[in-house]
Structure 1
Amino acid sequence: MRKIILLLSFLSLMASSACISGLAEPASKFQLTSGIVAILTDFGTEDYYVGALEGSIYAADPSVRISTISHQVKPFDIAEGSYILAKAAMWYPTGTVFVGDIDPGSARDRRFIVLTTPDSKVFVGPDNGLFTEVIHDLGLAHAYQITNQSLMNRENESATFQGFSVYGPVAAHLAGGVRPEEVGPEIKDLVQLPVNQPEVKGSKITGSIVQVDHYGNLISNIPGKLATGAGFVPGLPLRINLGNQSVNATFATTYGDVATGQWLALIKSDGAVEVARNLENAAKTIGASAGEKVTLSPII
């Protein structure tokens, strides 16, 4: 009996120690980090700005891995940046930290924020609507205002480029394991851009051009599922209206479904409807740009 009592006492002591150990586990590390910092800016590549941003990240944590989404977003175009960031982010692993720095106007008039998505991706940048498409596509878990001075680089503070002193260092610390809630207080009232939802009226689908890509293809905000649900099938002849211009096209599966120079609409790999000319620059041909209304109508 004495042996049983001693054994039970020992097991109880071990269980208590385990509980205490679990409670004492430090909570300062973000366990789902991938160690990757992915960057999107409108800096271009001719100046020192990209190097300075990457340098500010490495200075805070030399062990992180930097991935470039793009530095060629149209200058000051928050809407285009929002779209590109969201579409790229969906392909990155859980725990990736994203820096978005497209910030026209005075940085003193806006908040610096960190937001997290339900799949544990982390975004750092200005509260100016840049993360609108991320919230729309990936969802929002939490958002925090960056106020923790110890995570910033105030020795080399820039009045014009917050990426160097705030976004880069904070992203590096997050990628290194700092928990998002450590950057500052949680906030709710995020700035978001107006989103023009596509709609179906009869046999017509109306949406907006959200991006012109490197090839001059016109990317719309029309989901492919909306088009197929409205009866758009491969080979269907279309009338496409873009601003004050209109062209005849074919609803296709791939670019090669039509002859060189012919217009088409297809569903991209990310699920959005794209308007293009096979092996030609659609945007230059018709003078279209992001923000324009687009309507697709079957030719019957």
Structure 2
Amino acid sequence: MPDARPITFLTDYGYDDDFVGVCHAVMARIAPDARVIDLTHGVPRHDVRTGALTLRRALPYATAGVHLAVVDPEVGAERRALALRCMEEDRILVGPDNGLLHLAAQRFGGVAEVVDIARSRYRLEPASATFHGRDIFAPVAAHLAAGAPLADAGDPMEPREIVTLDMPMAFAGEDEVLCHAIAFDRFGNVTLDVEHTELEDTGLRLGHRVLVDDREAVYATTFADVPPGELLLYEDAYRTLSIAVNRGSAKDVLGLEVDAEIRIQPL
């Protein structure tokens, strides 16, 4: 039997209850040799989009394996449960069909194969109506990590049938970048919907000043490149364009909400 594949695990469960621990216990019983790596269990409650964005940016740093994600506000309702194989790197994503897996699948070339696992042969019985993380997603992920074929885990679906995530679209041109505030971290740094490869044809140059809407900022490498309290544009640790205030909150200074449009122009 081949070695078990690693499992990454992301949820909005937090750590106050036993949810994360019991999912670990289920996976350990089925695939004791599979290493489970907790990406985060601090996704804001029911925030599918933040979960999807986190999964997309984190998975390139993880070994290709089985990637379990559960942010599931419609648990027990009409939404489907999925296990899918990406086109690239033989990565398998497991989770609810609510858009949570969509951005990560795009990162790895799209969906090559997908099955509906709601009635999987690998689910625990009796399956709870409200804890599919324990009874459906975790056991299916563990069986797949242990070497079970994806086709055996559920009923086949067409990749085009899965739920996608509706995201705003950025425009990166030579004279301006029109983008959106898609996420905020606890420091008030603002993640924009522009990735490194999209910056090549813009007029943004490191060390030069830019306009962020009507405020001047520096396109810098790190926070300390500007004085405390000053605004900067930079690529974050995931090479995504972001805005920060050195020792402050760009979210508060700019008064931004999710999906706010931002115009960036080189000076």
Scaled by the length of structure 2, what TM-score is found?
0.91
Contact 2:31-2:142 at 8 Å conserved across structures: yes
- Mapped partners of 1:221, 1:34: distance in 2: 35
Specify the SS of the correspondent of 1:80: helix
2:239 counterpart residue number:
271
Give the greater-gyration-radius structure (CA). Answer: 1
- Mapped partners of 1:253, 1:149: distance in 2: 48
Specify the SS of the correspondent of 2:177: strand
Contact 2:122-2:143 at 8 Å conserved across structures: yes
1:146 counterpart residue number:
117
Question: Deviations along 1:132-182, whole A, 9 cap, x unmatched?
Answer: 211221122211111554311113x22112101000011111111111111
- Mapped partners of 1:107, 1:147: distance in 2: 10
Question: Deviations along 1:70-116, whole A, 9 cap, x unmatched?
Answer: 1111111111111100111111112x111111111243301110011
- Mapped partners of 2:263, 2:19: distance in 1: 39
Q: Confirm whether residue 124 of structure 1 aligns to residue 81 of structure 2.
A: no
The letter of the residue matching 1:113 is L
Contact 1:217-1:277 at 8 Å conserved across structures: yes
The match for 1:163 among 130, 133, 139 is 133
The match for 2:80 among 85, 93, 111 is 111
Alpha carbons of structure 1 residues 272 and 187: separation in structure 2 relative to 1, 3 Å: same
The match for 2:196 among 208, 224, 231 is 224
- Mapped partners of 2:24, 2:97: distance in 1: 21
Alignment of 1:251-290 (within 5 A): 251-290=219-258
Alpha carbons of structure 1 residues 282 and 34: separation in structure 2 relative to 1, 3 Å: farther
- Mapped partners of 1:70, 1:199: distance in 2: 31
The match for 1:250 among 215, 218, 223 is 218
Specify the SS of the correspondent of 1:209: strand
- Mapped partners of 1:228, 1:64: distance in 2: 40
Q: Confirm whether residue 214 of structure 1 aligns to residue 186 of structure 2.
A: yes
Give the structure with the higher percent helix. Answer: 1
Question: Deviations along 1:52-84, whole A, 9 cap, x unmatched?
Answer: 222222232222211111111111111111110
Q: How many residues align?
A: 263
The letter of the residue matching 2:82 is I
The letter of the residue matching 2:31 is D
1:233 counterpart residue number:
205
Q: Which runs of 5+ in 1 are unaligned?
A: 1-28
The match for 1:42 among 12, 15, 20 is 12
Percent of aligned positions with the same letter in both sequences? 25
Question: Deviations along 1:168-227, whole A, 9 cap, x unmatched?
Answer: 011111111111111123212110011322113561211222221232211111123333
1:99 counterpart residue number:
68
Specify the SS of the correspondent of 1:230: coil
- Mapped partners of 2:169, 2:91: distance in 1: 25
| Comparing 163-172 and 248-257, the one that deviates more | 248-257
Specify the SS of the correspondent of 1:238: strand
Specify the SS of the correspondent of 2:218: strand
Q: Confirm whether residue 58 of structure 1 aligns to residue 28 of structure 2.
A: yes
Question: Deviations along 1:16-70, whole A, 9 cap, x unmatched?
Answer: xxxxxxxxxxxxx7x6x75211111111222222112222222322222111111
Alpha carbons of structure 1 residues 76 and 206: separation in structure 2 relative to 1, 3 Å: same
The match for 2:143 among 160, 167, 173 is 173
Over 4 Å off, 4+ runs: none
- Mapped partners of 1:52, 1:292: distance in 2: 39
Contact 1:34-1:93 at 8 Å conserved across structures: no
